[in-house]
Structure 1
Amino acid sequence: MPQLNILVGTMYGGALDVAEQVKPLFEAAGYTVSIKEQPVVEDVKEQALTLFCVSTTGSGDFPGNFVPFVRQLKDQSPALTELNYGLIALGDSSYDDTFCGAGRSLDAMLEDLGAKRLGERLEVDAMETFMADDAALPWVETWIDEQSLKVA
């Protein structure tokens, strides 16, 4: 079975909860899934498909557990032309300009490194959706279908 890594950037556990909730959908689609709470660049260098679940903190910042990964991306600037990815960004629209800032920044960074986002980025607004997985589960189901990701 092909490998899928779900890389998580979380402060209070919301993004991790989303990753754990969507994991069975990918397993049912034929993937071996690993959730990475302390991701490193090697987790994406050799991957064909990765899902990012990233919350935004402070003024559009990355959660503390995700900062070393972002620093590695900036320092190493690896060519990620083989990487296809999906992105679930969690945020709070009451923060206006920085809403889903970490997810948006990550998206731009990955694009600059040659990675290809499959489909649209999901932005989950805590002001509208109490449980982020309520938005993430149907999005992942649709994403798997629309991107023809089933291998089972």
Structure 2
Amino acid sequence: MPSMRIFVATVYGGALDVAELSQPLCEQAGFQVNILEEPELEDLVNAPPDIALFCISTTGSGDFPGNFMRFADNMANQLPDLSHQRYGLIAMGDSSYDTFCGAGRKLDNVLQQCGAQRIGERLEIDASRTPMADDEALPWIESWLPIARESLQ
């Protein structure tokens, strides 16, 4: 059974809600899923999952939430070889700010600098249009999962 780790960057729990509601869908698609609320870079680099899914909120001026700062800083500083890694990314933000989905966009950029291969398009959820992020995230997950499975072939 292929493995999936869901890496969560959250301030008020919205990204964690998305991760927890996505987990059963991912398991039904045949993945063994672990949610990481306090991720470390080693969770991605040492014994990497077959697929990584990032649920990332933006805080401040396009910043990563506190629980994700060490992960993001270590990745940006070390730029590990992630050419073997496939991933999906759900970015959450508020378009009334200039830094809309800034953390998710930054992470996507660094992952690609490290050679990781994004599966499908990055989902950007706008809190000013979609107060309940899962309303947008779950349909995206359902359409993303077949592509994720296919990428493992």
Give the TM-score normalised by the residue count of structure 1. Answer: 0.94
Indicate the residue corresponding to 1:52 in structure 2.
54
Indicate the residue corresponding to 1:88 in structure 2.
90
Indicate the residue corresponding to 1:133 in structure 2.
134
Unaligned runs of 5+ in 2: none
> Which of residues 64, 67, 78 in structure 2 aligns to 1:65?
67
Q: By how many angstroms is 1:57 displaced?
A: 0.3
Indicate the residue corresponding to 1:14 in structure 2.
14
Q: Deviations over 1:52-91 (max 9, x none)?
A: 0000001110000000001111232210001000000000
Q: By how many angstroms is 1:149 displaced?
A: 4.6
AA at the equivalent of 1:6 = I
AA at the equivalent of 1:113 = C
Q: Deviations over 1:30-55 (max 9, x none)?
A: 11110001111122122221000000
Indicate the residue corresponding to 2:111 in structure 1.
110
For the Cα contact (< 8 Å) 1:29–1:149, is it kept in 2?
A: no
Return the alpha-carbon distance in structure 2 between the equivalents of residues 81 and 47 of structure 1.
Answer: 13
RMSD: 1.4
Q: Percent identity between the aligned chains?
A: 57
Give the TM-score normalised by the residue count of structure 2. Answer: 0.93
AA at the equivalent of 2:87 = Y
Return the alpha-carbon distance in structure 2 between the equivalents of residues 147 and 47 of structure 1.
Answer: 12
- Residue 76, structure 1, aligned to residue 78, structure 2: yes
Indicate the residue corresponding to 2:41 in structure 1.
41
Return the alpha-carbon distance in structure 1 between the equivalents of residues 122 and 63 of structure 2.
Answer: 18
Q: By how many angstroms is 1:146 displaced?
A: 3.5
Change beyond 3 A, Cα 1:149–1:15: farther
Q: Deviations over 1:89-121 (max 9, x none)?
A: 0000000x2000000000000000000100100
Return the alpha-carbon distance in structure 1 between the equivalents of residues 118 and 104 of structure 2.
Answer: 12
Q: By how many angstroms is 1:135 displaced?
A: 0.3
Return the alpha-carbon distance in structure 1 between the equivalents of residues 55 and 116 of structure 2.
Answer: 16
Change beyond 3 A, Cα 1:150–1:27: farther
Unaligned runs of 5+ in 1: none
